[in-house]
Copies of this chain bind each other. A is one copy, B any other.
């Protein structure tokens, strides 16, 4: 298919999405809930078809030499298909993010100004390997009254198509117009490039994947993008703190799931507490086989550490490596975080109220922790029920994004003839 033909197909897809979005925007809460439940039913009904499509994707990936960790993420077991359906039911049961009255104000001239949440319209999602994102992302977008255009990784193409077909079958069973969930039907890069120019039809794009993918999307997209590039998360151990708790929190933040974006990457330790604390944390991290890369002051206290370079402090390792630096107090810690960090999730471990106040006020990150693990930056942990991603942007949404974050607002002004 050449570019002209591709453009024509995308144009049709865009128009369909717009029409579907207009219908979804005014769909009553109970109808939306019912549709999401029907989609869950349809996923389960299509179990065999989805498993078959997925088996073909997995076979192709395996013969192309994909590594086993990625194969695992690509594979849809029976339990994972059920989990997708459960996810849709959970989103269905949540309160409606659309139509919330955000504020009401009656002006002196009698005008009543309501600020009411409304859907964006059409949301584009660009993601890599895991095919269950198709159902998860579609569910949360629809809950917020938005149509969705998905572009998944080429390895999961057959799986994604099968899942999208099932979701649409569920949607049409409850009267939703065609175009509520659509998948870009090609796997080549040109299709993404063209999708990212469809600002007439797509109101917002959310890329999910590695930093390279996200940078491409930001560079190419003509519509707004919500995203985070990476998570270089810090914990700062203050002069006075509960050291046993600090060890427990650091081990959890670094080791519980090192590959995710809210995992700890750099540990900052106040110089005053270092002589007492370094041996404790050093032993605990050694036990977990974490490779340490420290500055000279840290290595003086913990000689088995490698030397950290400047690059280490910018690094998102996503594995069992930790950069460490000894700093002179909370101000230096904040300075380090605001310089080297990614404005994702950063925390202080302290029992000095003034230092905690300084840290939370001055660290310019989406989520700032006091005496807790950075691993909690997550829609589920924040009580959002579902998560479409995490934003380190400052416009619109910051931190974990749930269905509420997939709405905009409009003002409705009621009068009785007011003129200006």
Which residues of A approach B to under 8 Å, CB–CB?
22, 25-26, 105, 107, 111, 113, 118, 120-121, 203-204, 224, 226, 242, 245, 248-249, 251-253, 256, 338, 347, 360-362, 364-373, 375-377, 381-383, 393-396, 398-399, 408-420
Contact = CB atoms under 8 A, between A and B. Distances in A.
B105 A383 contact: yes
Contacts of A203: 394-395
B107 A413 contact: no
Contacts of A368: 410-413
Contacts of A383: 105, 107, 113
Given A26-B361, A408-B395, A413 B224 contact: no
Nearest to A367: B411
- How many monomers of this chain does the complex have? 2
A248 to B, nearest CB: 6
A417 B242 contact: yes
Given A111-B376, A204-B394, A256-B420, A413 B365 contact: no
Nearest to A256: B420
A382 B113 CA distance: 8
A404 to B, nearest CB: 10
A50 to B, nearest CB: 31
A253 B419 CA distance: 8
Contacts of A399: 410-411
B371 A414 contact: yes
